[in-house]
Structure 1
């Protein structure tokens, strides 16, 4: 194995180590202002170094680069691969970071939802349990009601005093056959 190949492999290994750091804890460091808000992301730097090292090592081995001219050709090929990979990494990391997501549901989103009583709700001050759908997901909550509600009763949420409890009223059955 040529010395150039070993040097390129070390550079590629450093790129992989930076990528692992960026993916597992890069937000902690904010190294030198690099990152999501900077000109270049840590992922792009890792992609650049990884592609530079591994493309250079592959090319150096294929050319059996033992002369300065062949090492220069391997480095040129490696630079082309490195810039292309860094550009892709930058685009993908920005796309993932800037991806729009739905708002996090809050207890205000519970008011007005329909559900069903899971555990009997006693009249007055006691708590039972109901299941409602919030953001397409079933959510089980503690429930109070003015009148006793047996399990299986369809309900309507009228108030959400806390994140885990609601005040409900019975609704008429839907009449599904």
Structure 2
């Protein structure tokens, strides 16, 4: 960039660079806390202490980036301006830490449906996908908890492909006795 024929270089204030490094490390720790603990089994989810890792990382990231923004807006070259940047970072960090803690707690404590078992198969309806002979097994596709499930099937009489069926009994975890529907 030139100004009246003199080359100038835009310099980032040292305080801003330090705040950006703090913010980046906070984001890195937050990513590791959210992804790493589930995939890599880092840490123990029940041991949070007074503040969760997600809340601390969210606070650190928001503090660093918020303070860097305020520092650049003020042109933070004096201790008073850097103190104002720190205050701006804290103002950004507190709600972010609270939100990170709430969201991570909600994700950990999310209720899920019970895992379907063979007792849930009785009464399911579906279709024959492989013909069912009189003295053997064919295959049927039924919906169990909203998911398509393919099972081995027996019937009292032969059933062709495409016949609509009703599960009468679960013979095992993977096989059923069916009738036409």
TM range (shorter): 0.7 to 0.9
Whether the aligned pair in 2 keeps the contact of 1:107 and 1:162 (CA below 8 Å) is: yes
TM-align CA RMSD: 1.7
Name the residue aligned to 1:162.
172
Could you tell me how far 1:36 is from its partner in structure 2?
Answer: 5.0
Name the residue aligned to 1:49.
60
Of 146-155 and 87-96, the range deviating more from structure 2: 146-155
Q: Aligned pair count?
A: 167
Counting only pairs closer than 5 Å after superposition, residues 3-18 of structure 1 correspond to structure 2 as: 3-18=14-29
Alpha-carbon separation, structure 2, partners of 1:59 and 1:22: 27
Alpha-carbon separation, structure 2, partners of 1:162 and 1:9: 59
Name the residue aligned to 1:174.
none
Of 78-87 and 145-154, the range deviating more from structure 2: 145-154
Name the residue aligned to 1:29.
42
Alpha-carbon separation, structure 1, partners of 2:115 and 2:47: 23
Q: Which ranges of structure 2 fall in alignment gaps of 5 or more residues? A: 1-11
Counting only pairs closer than 5 Å after superposition, residues 22-171 of structure 1 correspond to structure 2 as: 22-27=33-38, 28-30=41-43, 35-38=45-48, 39-124=50-135, 126-171=136-181
Alpha-carbon separation, structure 2, partners of 1:123 and 1:11: 71
Consecutive aligned runs of 4 or more in structure 1 exceeding 3 Å deviation: none
Whether the aligned pair in 2 keeps the contact of 1:36 and 1:94 (CA below 8 Å) is: no
Could you tell me how far 1:40 is from its partner in structure 2?
Answer: 2.3
Of 153-162 and 86-95, the range deviating more from structure 2: 153-162
Could you tell me how far 1:37 is from its partner in structure 2?
Answer: 4.9
Q: Which ranges of structure 1 fall in alignment gaps of 5 or more residues? A: 172-177
Query: What is the TM-score normalised by the length of structure 1?
Result: 0.86
Could you tell me how far 1:7 is from its partner in structure 2?
Answer: 1.0
